Every structure is written in structure tokens, then in C-alpha cells.
Structure 1
Amino acid sequence: MNTRGTYELIKIAEILKHLKVFMHVSTTYCYPNRRVIEEQFYPPYADWRTTIKLAETYDTELLNVFNLKYGDFQPNTYTFTKSLAEQIIKEYKDKLPLLIFRPSIVISSIEEPVPGWVDNFNGPIGMLVACGIGIFRTSYGEPNIISDFVPVDIVVRAMLIATYRKGLENRDNDEPKLEVVNGAASKIRPITTGEVIEIGKKSYKRNSF
């Protein structure tokens, strides 16, 4: 979905005559082997066309056999396919008004539409809810690791601003450049995994399930 879906959308974008900006939403975790992710491209782990062909040719059992080595030992297929999708965007940078936005770990909102709003239980929100109702009791991890969480309403605002700015740039520039924007908060308001757990414990006591 992350790779082939991006390619299919690019093909649609190519026939849109009045397209001003095409934003591709990636993730700051698409290159997990790097400690620092700058707002730039990095060498691909594999060729995206070859990867799509392999995925659509071979069965799941065979793909699982060579998945880790082929994907340069990525921790999961999410980060791997997200990095491949960025390579697709890069390849079409001279044909379309493209922009890449990389949010970190998106969590529930601060203010809009209401405080605490979220439409799924993915990531840390699901973990905290599972802890609160008692079905998730233990987890192995490092409590001092800084988790880069960004509220969803902050992410949406940043996406809108980045898109608007890119649109103005494209209007005033005959040869607009492909821009990469990171949307992370660890340096602004860092929080460790251990702190998240302690906040969750206090929240459960105030608002029990």
C-alpha cells in the first residue's frame, strides 16, 4: 500500500492539468538506521520497481524468507515501504509540484476538534488504552528513550502551512524544487517512554475505564 499506492496516485496526478501541490505524507522513521533525519533524501534500500514486482509475483512464505536481507534488515515493512515511496516521489520531482511531509509518531489532539480526539487505537494510544482496561500488563522496553510524539491537530496545521507555502513558491518560481519537511517535536518538548507510562497511570486513577 505505501509503495504501490504512492505510484498509483502519482499516475493520477500526472493527468491533473491544474495541480498546484502534491503532498506525500511519509514518516520521520523511514530511515531508522540513521540517528538524525535531516530534511533531505537518503540512498534507497532497494529499487521500488523491483520491490513491487517481487511482492506481486511471489507468495508470502517465500517473501518472508528473504525479506530482512532484501530490505537491508529494516525493523518492519512499514519503514521499508515508506522509504521506497519517497524514492518514487524523488523520481517524479521534475514532472510534478511535489512536497514530502514527514511526521513522527502522531497521537491524539491537543485542541481540535476536541482535546484528546483520535480516530484509531494505533501506536501509543492503543497501548495506553489496553493498559487501562487491564489486557496489556507488561512491556519490554527502555524507559529512558525519548518518544517523538506529535498531536494530530499540530500535524494537520503544519501540513496545511507547508502546502500553502509550497503553492506560493510554485506560483513564483518557474522551476520549483522538491521540498522535504519534517514534523517532529522531540527537541521542542521531549518526553521519555517512562514518563508516558507514569502520565498514563495518573490518568487512569482520575478517569478509570
Structure 2
Amino acid sequence: MKQEQPHALEKLVVVTGDAIKPGLGLLPEDRQILEERVSIIFHVAASVRFDDSITYAVNMNVRGTREVAELALKMKNLVVLLHVSTTYCNTDREVIDEVIYPPHGDWKKSIEMVENIDEAVLRLITPKILGGLPNTYTYTKSLAEHLIKDYSEKIPAVIFRPSIVISTLDEPIKGWIDNFNGPVGLMVAGGKGIVHCFLADEDITSDYVPVDIAIKSMITAAWYRGSQR
């Protein structure tokens, strides 16, 4: 980018924020810039850990999404808000279609719950809260989908559900990745020769998608929704 289009980098404006804080932790002047100048939002911020407490997962993945949606409502030139969800927020179903399934909980009450109930108590009742879902990640990402669905009555929105995101196919270079989330650690260990075998169910398919393919699809989906009336 620096070599081919150096002036394009002048378009980038970095602001300080925190998705887990009310108001996204934005300074008033930064919020004003976003409200007046931004027309497309890619909401990718989330915790993808499976062992987060219900308090942290709701605050990050649900309340954080609400704060982004509230910011979007005030944007003067908003064309589209693309929210990154996950294929696995409905793990209690054998087949997942491109529809919004009945909620696993009430996103508004969930935010109120973690803001007002002691975390030690919430840890005890977390299995009851999750119902048929395996962890706080899938549960809170499911709630966030319904939050976006509700806000989509007022703002143009897209819910994007990638599967298991892994290293790049081609861009910016083959095999690039900056974390060991999900299966990546196991894949690296296998490539390095550290792991030679592991126990697995041969009937289960691990559905991976390279991160550069996921990003291209996100851009395409945002363009498609933003071009609609």
C-alpha cells in the first residue's frame, strides 16, 4: 500500500475506544467525527473465547454491539452496518439456514442481568442461562444477532456468519495469521511436527474459511446491502 498508493493511507484516522465500555469509551470529539463522516461500519469487535464468564461475554458481545448500533443511529450518512456473527451461534440445530432463528434469550434482559447481579451468582447459574448452547460465546453471539435484527428496523444492517476463520489463502501473503485462536494452534503444531495424531470424530467436518476470503465476502455483502434502497 505504501509503495503503490501512499496517499490512500491519509484516509485513515485512528481513534481510541473500548468495546466493553459504555459509549465504546470514545472521546466526545472522536464520536463527533464518526457521527459526521462515517458511512459504513464493520462491527468485528468481540471476544471469541469459549470460557469467558457470562458477565464479560455479555458486556463485550451484546452490550458492545448495542453501543455500536446506538452510534450508528446517530450517523448522518450511514449506508450500512455489517455485524460479524458466527455460523455457530445456533449449535443446537443440525442445519443452519440464512434466517434468524428464535432467540435463546432476551438481549435487553441479559444486559440488565450482568449489570445488576453479582458475578459469583451468575457463574453458578450460567449453565441454566445457556440452555442448550455449549458456552458463553455462542450464547452471546446469538443474542447479538437478535439485537441487530431489532435495530435493523431503523438502520440498514447485515448479519455476516463466517465459519471457523483461519490463515490467509493468498492475501496479503499465503498462510498469514496473527493469532492462535480456534484450531490454528493445532494446525501449526501439526505443520511443525510437534503433533502427530489426536483423537477426533471422523464423522464431523471442521468448516474452515481463510480470513482473506471472509474479508472479501464481508466487503461484498456490505456493498450489496448498501446499494439497496
Which TM-score tier does this pair reach, normalised by the shorter chain?
0.7 to 0.9
TM-score by length of 2: 0.69
2: CA distance, partners of 1:107 / 1:8: 28
C-alpha displacement of 1:158: 0.6
C-alpha displacement of 1:74: 1.2
Q: Specify which of 112, 121, 131 is matched with residue 62 of structure 1.
A: 121
Answer whether contact 2:92 2:132 (CA < 8 A) is retained. Answer: no
2:151 partner letter: Y
Q: Give the structure 2 partner of residue 92 of structure 1.
A: 151
2: CA distance, partners of 1:141 / 1:88: 35
Q: What secondary structure sits across from 1:30 in the alignment?
A: helix
Identity score, percent: 47
In structure 2, do the counterparts of structure 1 residues 61 and 41 end up closer, same or farther at CA, with 3 Å as the change threshold?
Answer: same
Q: Specify which of 180, 204, 211 is matched with residue 145 of structure 1.
A: 204
1:102 partner letter: R
How many pairs does the alignment contain? 169
Q: Give the structure 2 partner of residue 110 of structure 1.
A: 169
Q: In the alignment, is residue 101 of structure 1 matched against residue 169 of structure 2?
A: no
Q: Specify which of 74, 83, 90 is matched with residue 24 of structure 1.
A: 83
Q: Give the structure 2 partner of residue 187 of structure 1.
A: none
Q: What secondary structure sits across from 1:34 in the alignment?
A: coil
1:160 partner letter: I
Q: Specify which of 203, 212, 215 is matched with residue 156 of structure 1.
A: 215
Per-residue CA deviation, residues 38-81 of structure 1 (Å, 9 max, x unaligned), is 11101101111111121122233211211111221310100000
Per-residue CA deviation, residues 133-176 of structure 1 (Å, 9 max, x unaligned), is 74x6875431331111000011011111111111111xxx2xxx
Per-residue CA deviation, residues 76-101 of structure 1 (Å, 9 max, x unaligned), is 10000000001111111110011111
1:15 partner letter: K
Q: What secondary structure sits across from 1:123 in the alignment?
A: coil
What's the C-alpha RMSD, in Å, of the aligned pairs? 1.7
Q: Which has the higher contact order (CA 8 A, sep 6+)?
A: 1
Mind listing any 5+ residue stretches in structure 2 that lack a counterpart?
A: 1-59
Mind listing any 5+ residue stretches in structure 1 that lack a counterpart?
A: 174-209
Q: In the alignment, is residue 121 of structure 1 matched against residue 188 of structure 2?
A: no
In structure 2, do the counterparts of structure 1 residues 94 and 151 end up closer, same or farther at CA, with 3 Å as the change threshold?
Answer: same
C-alpha displacement of 1:36: 1.0
2: CA distance, partners of 1:139 / 1:59: 40
Q: What secondary structure sits across from 1:36 in the alignment?
A: coil
1:58 partner letter: I
